[in-house]
Amino acid sequence: MEMIKLVNGKGDIIERKKIDYTPNIKIWELRGWKPYVEPKPEPKIDNEWKKEESIIDVDSFNNKSAKHKKSKKKGK
């Protein structure tokens, strides 16, 4: 007896028989249930090989909406 895991929008997971799910796929999807796909584990990164974080935030230089002080020169 083959089982299938289903997940809804809230994140609840249920397990049902695949025989019961297959002929009623449209009904399950209308109710918000879809097959659960298990997330793949992320590979572990050694502390020695971590990418060094830059001290200066590059995005702040490229961000045009950031407020920068501009000095105004008065001409005579």
Mean pLDDT of successive 10-residue stretches along the chain, which has 76 residues? 93 94 94 92 71 60 59 61
pLDDT at 1: 87
pLDDT at 43: 80
pLDDT at 10: 93
pTM above the 0.75 mark? no
The Cα 75–Cα 29 span in angstroms is 70
pLDDT at 35: 95
The Cα 28–Cα 18 span in angstroms is 12
User: 């929008």: which residue's tokens?
Assistant: 9
The SS3 call for residue 72 is coil
pLDDT at 6: 95
Helix and strand numbers, DSSP H then E, in the chain:
3, 3
